[in-house]
Amino acid sequence: MKAKPFSLGRASALQPDAAAVLSGLPVAVAVLDAENRFRSVNPAAEQFLGLSAVQLDGKPLAELIAADHPIFLLIEQVRRTELSVADYDMDLEGPRFSKHGITVQGTRLAELPDAVVLVLQDASTARSLDRQLSFRGAARSVSGMAAILAHEVKNPLSGIRGAAQLLEASVGAADRDLAVLIRDEADRIRALVDRMEMFGEKPIAREAVNIHRVLEHVRRLAQTGFAAAVRFQELYDPSLPAVWGNRDQLVQVLLNLVKNATEAIVDANVEAGEITLMSGYQHGVRVALPGSGRAQQLPILVVVRDNGPGIREDIRRDLFEPFVTSRASGSGLGLALVAKIVGDHGGLIEVESRPGRTEFRLHLPMIPEGIRPPDNE
């Protein structure tokens, strides 16, 4: 069979305009047959692989990529499960290409038996959409230091606070303000240290968590407190299964995201500031578990979106690193903690941001079979 781009032997099955759309897509799309040989490619795939459609036609994928590469596991899984499967952050090396941080998505194709469509997306393409993946390591750099700091700072701090309190009672009115200032600042450091302590490496206790109840709780906290001036919109999928996670930590994650969204809206004086909380079920998103060679399914999607001014250009790259902040009073620990908790859950966080629309997307695991879901009272 002579394969032109997107003629699958049964070209009539594809509308001509659909083929044109595929040709114009900036992401690489390739169709493999049952023996993992190229059957068709779009121009972006030709460019990605460094070979023309004619050169690729009928060529086994194993001639380009080592046969033990995880991409073959992904392809097999697509055939076996008939689901769409995605892997993030793959390294792909071949005779004419060497790409890192590639997102690979595989899907079955009805037209050809056992054919698989591969979509390969370069990190730079992904970045042009202002997407970022936060990696597990993002918060690691502080975890050891945090534990020591917390331990060494807390004791002298409580001494300072106690002394200030004594002074408050005994000094004259003029100096009382200073004593109060010392006490308040000591409290602020204490709160900071408490937050840093959470970076410690402790295994998390997991249970079946109803994520809608977590979202509701966070929304209520926000609306009665820091986000009173913001409108909330909720778009929940009521059939969503429970998340396999730690409820308190998930509250913390969502509270941080909602707080950031509120601050972005309020600081920029956005009229009609709105935060959208969304949930949904998503097939086929999974992430490789480091070291084990296994992959975990992450079917639960939770989205926090705001209509604020967007994330500042200069901090986007390091957004999830600790101490990265654009706000004078910010500690820059919020998103580092979010990344750490999501990583501990084996989950994934992505962000997409432009003026008027910033979206944090959490991909979380669902409860394993055999564990009782939470009551739905």
Ligand X SMILES: Nc1ncnc2c1ncn2[C@@H]1O[C@H](COP(=O)(O)OP(=O)(O)OP(=O)(O)O)[C@@H](O)[C@H]1O
Residues lying near ligand X in the complex (CB under 6 A): 256, 260-261, 264, 306, 308, 310-312, 315, 319, 324-327, 330-336, 358
Touching Mg ion, residues 257-276 (CB under 5 A): 260
Q: Residue 86 region, left (φ>0) first, then alpha (ψ -120 to 50), else beta? A: beta
> Of 283 and 312, which has the nearer Cβ to ligand X?
312
> Of 211 and 336, which has the nearer Cβ to ligand X?
336
- In this structure, are residues 105 and 89 in contact, taking their beta carbons and an 8 Å threshold? no
> Out of ligand X, Mg ion, none, which partner does residue 327 contact, by CB within 5 to 8 A per kind?
ligand X
- Amino acid residing at 12: S
Element containing residue 54 per DSSP (H, E): helix 53-56
Q: Total binding residues for Mg ion by CB under 5 A? A: 2
Shortest reach from residue 37's CB to ligand X, in Å: 45
**What's the CA gap between 162 and 313, in Å, rounded?**
43
Element containing residue 56 per DSSP (H, E): helix 53-56
Touching Mg ion, residues 310-339 (CB under 5 A): 334
Shortest reach from residue 45's CB to ligand X, in Å: 35
> Of 71 and 264, which has the nearer Cβ to ligand X?
264
Shortest reach from residue 242's CB to ligand X, in Å: 27
Shortest reach from residue 16's CB to ligand X, in Å: 42
Shortest reach from residue 365's CB to Mg ion, in Å: 25
- In this structure, are residues 282 and 85 in contact, taking their beta carbons and an 8 Å threshold? no
H helices within 129-246, ranges in order? 140-170, 173-197, 211-224
> Out of Mg ion, ligand X, none, which partner does residue 324 contact, by CB within 5 to 8 A per kind?
ligand X
Shortest reach from residue 256's CB to Mg ion, in Å: 5
> Out of ligand X, Mg ion, none, which partner does residue 47 contact, by CB within 5 to 8 A per kind?
none
Q: At what angle do helices 247-267 and 211-224 cross, to 10 degrees?
A: 40
* Torsion on CA atoms 189, 195, 198, 200, rounded to nearest 10: -40
Tell me the residue number closest to Mg ion, measured at CB: 334
> Out of ligand X, Mg ion, none, which partner does residue 105 contact, by CB within 5 to 8 A per kind?
none
Q: Which residues have CB under 8 Å from 79's CB, separation 6+?
A: 108, 114, 116
* Residue 58, token pair as written in the block: 């009928």
> Of 242 and 342, which has the nearer Cβ to ligand X?
342
Task: Give the number of other Cβ atoms within 10 Å of residue 24's Cβ.
Answer: 10
What single string gives the DSSP state of each residue in 321-341? STT--SSTT--S-HHHHHHHH
The DSSP letter of residue 25 is -
Annotate each residue in 334-353 with x if it binds Mg ion (CB under 5 A) or - if it does not, as one string.
x-------------------
> Of 335 and 342, which has the nearer Cβ to ligand X?
335
> Of 92 and 265, which has the nearer Cβ to ligand X?
265
- In this structure, are residues 204 and 347 in contact, taking their beta carbons and an 8 Å threshold? no
> Of 261 and 364, which has the nearer Cβ to Mg ion?
261
**What's the CA gap between 112 and 128, in Å, rounded?**
33
> Of 33 and 352, which has the nearer Cβ to Mg ion?
352
Shortest reach from residue 141's CB to ligand X, in Å: 14
Sites of contact with Mg ion (CB under 5 A): 260, 334
